[in-house]
Structure 1
Amino acid sequence: MEPFLLQHQSYLTIESWVKQFPNLIAGITTKNGGCSKGSFGNLNLGYHVGDAIGDVCANRTKLAELLQIPLNRWVGAEQTHDVSIKKITKADCGRGSDSYDHSFKGTDGFYTSESDILLTLCFADCVPLFFIAPDKHMIGTAHAGWKGTVHKIGRHMIEAWGKEGINAQQIFVTIGPSICGKCYIVDDYVINFVQNTLEDNDKKPYNLISDGQYSLDLRELNKQILLKAGVPDQNILMTDFCTSCDHKEFFSHRRDQGQTGRMLSFIGWKERANRL
């Protein structure tokens, strides 16, 4: 069953999570309902892609109103396709929300147990990972491109939470909209990393389609990494939405040949952040 539900033209939410935890907000934006123009049309939320900064700020302000969490409670990152993960506190609020220059540098994952904080990351084909351990009030999100995936950013999050006293069996994960295996074609260089990551796994998330060319299912690869990290299979939800296939809803770096905007993943507890 598809875990993401379109709540508004501008964003989808993780339906079962937000129903079970009414104070939780978790999901990802679409490309619709903003004011960006041209190849960034129209709800681009990335500061770093060459779009007019005023348009990006206006788009973020509109999303803040829709989500009812003000920008000064958001945090954002300069994502580098690595595995660095940052624990966030209220003292960090606002960093990266209204300026790329002030975002967390070299960071591809956030987590927190505090309320009134919205963890955000940008996407346009890479895999958004959402984490929750409700008994511990812990939430997190990670950006898993192929490099972050093969270096096991999902496992790094599980290990970070282990240091917080959270067992992998207590963690639930949702794998969000991203490029599907049919659309994501890679070469031997990438597959060598994938093979080293999987080691003795019998199930391979890739298929040879021609000499030196493979279709790679990054979502399935992330799931296998999470399973090996100890997250139970029944605790993992995975979307069927493909950012490349669905040109009406999502930006896609590969489909649009690099000239495109960014969606924003978001997750936060809203107990005291429900008024602008």
Structure 2
Amino acid sequence: MYILEKLQMSIQTNKIIHVNNEHIFGATTLKNIALPEKNNTALHVCIDPEAVMINRKRLAEELNMPLDNWALPWQKHTNNMAHVTSSDKGKGAYDKNTSIMNVDAVYTTEPNILIGVFTADCLGILVIDETTPCICAIHSGWKGTTLEITKKCLSELIEKDLIHPKSCHVYFSPSIQFDSLEVGMEVVEQMKQISIDTTPFIRYMPNEKAYIDNQGINIEMCKELGVPAQNIHPSVYDTKKELNTCFSYRNDKQTGEHFTFGYIK
């Protein structure tokens, strides 16, 4: 699987490139201990906002996508999604308090608007459909998964004819994986209430704990909506184990975050 992922995406300095063609660019930033705040780009979880802005400006220059064209959410573990248009450019780019508030997913059909979500152990999901074109970025920790944010957002975009199951692709950021995501039985009970069969994605332990495959559940949601398996691109990076390249709240508590983002060219 590791080899397969390498074929599906290329790694450049400080980020994983998910897609880069004439229509769309999409990537996830990585931790780098040599950079300010270890390459954290999240203003809402940082020690030094100036260091975060250095990282953002560096990324903007690399992409030739000025910060004035970024539009970012301040996530709150909801299942809310916002439609981003040119009128939203600049939101959250320089000041977290100007972010698109109380949403955990953003989408756009317009060119030259960079959208994205921030994650440490949670999932960052990038959905693209070049035929529209449309891109959507989703943040789904276990709370978002119990709220079925991925299914809700994809269903809405399909209903609006903005993405099509057979032509869209879904890319996953590094996240805490099945072997590392230990939860209590109260989380298990919530997972069992969602609309898909989560049985294969729960591994019970003898200490009233269980391991959850958060990525696997979200992949299953995509499949149930008709996205072909070959169009779904999981990540093998476990944020709890990859200490040098991944941010992890469970490891560090005070930590930066990955940025899963994309834009239509």
**Shared fold (TM-score greater than 0.5)?**
yes
Establish whether residue 216 from structure 1 lines up as the match of residue 216 from structure 2: no
- Structure 1 residue 77, shift from structure 2 partner: 0.8
The partner residue of 1:264 within 241, 259, 262 is 259
Unaligned runs of 5+ in 1: 271-276
- Structure 1 residue 163, shift from structure 2 partner: 3.2
- Structure 1 residue 236, shift from structure 2 partner: 1.2
Q: CA RMSD in A?
A: 1.7
Q: Which residue of 1 aligns with 2:173?
A: 176
- Structure 1 residue 228, shift from structure 2 partner: 1.9
Give distance in 2, aligned partners of 1:191 and 1:68: 44
- Structure 1 residue 224, shift from structure 2 partner: 1.1
Listed as ranges, the matches of 1:54-65 within 5 Å are 54-65=50-61
Note the alpha carbon deviations across 1:42-92, whole angstroms, 9 max, x for none: 211111124111111111111111222111111111100111101111111
Give distance in 2, aligned partners of 1:190 and 1:203: 13
Give distance in 2, aligned partners of 1:210 and 1:105: 40
Relative to the length of structure 2, the TM-score reads 0.92
The partner residue of 1:186 within 162, 179, 183 is 183
- Structure 1 residue 7, shift from structure 2 partner: 1.2
Listed as ranges, the matches of 1:27-176 within 5 Å are 27-32=27-32, 35-36=35-36, 41-165=37-161, 166-176=163-173
Give distance in 1, aligned partners of 2:147 and 2:227: 17
Conservation of the 8 A alpha-carbon contact between 1:77 and 1:107: yes
Q: Which residue of 2 aligns with 1:13?
A: 17
Unaligned runs of 5+ in 2: none
Q: Secondary structure at the match of 2:39?
A: coil
Conservation of the 8 A alpha-carbon contact between 1:25 and 1:268: yes
Further displaced range: 209-218 or 82-91: 209-218
- Structure 1 residue 233, shift from structure 2 partner: 2.2
The AA in structure 1 aligned to 2:15 is Y
Further displaced range: 164-173 or 121-130: 164-173
Further displaced range: 166-175 or 67-76: 166-175
Establish whether residue 233 from structure 1 lines up as the match of residue 229 from structure 2: yes
Aligned length: 259
The AA in structure 1 aligned to 2:12 is Q
- Structure 1 residue 158, shift from structure 2 partner: 1.3
Give distance in 1, aligned partners of 2:167 and 2:22: 19
Q: Secondary structure at the match of 2:17?
A: strand
The AA in structure 2 aligned to 1:22 is E
Establish whether residue 248 from structure 1 lines up as the match of residue 248 from structure 2: no
Relative to the length of structure 1, the TM-score reads 0.89
Give distance in 2, aligned partners of 1:105 and 1:22: 31
Identity value in percent: 26
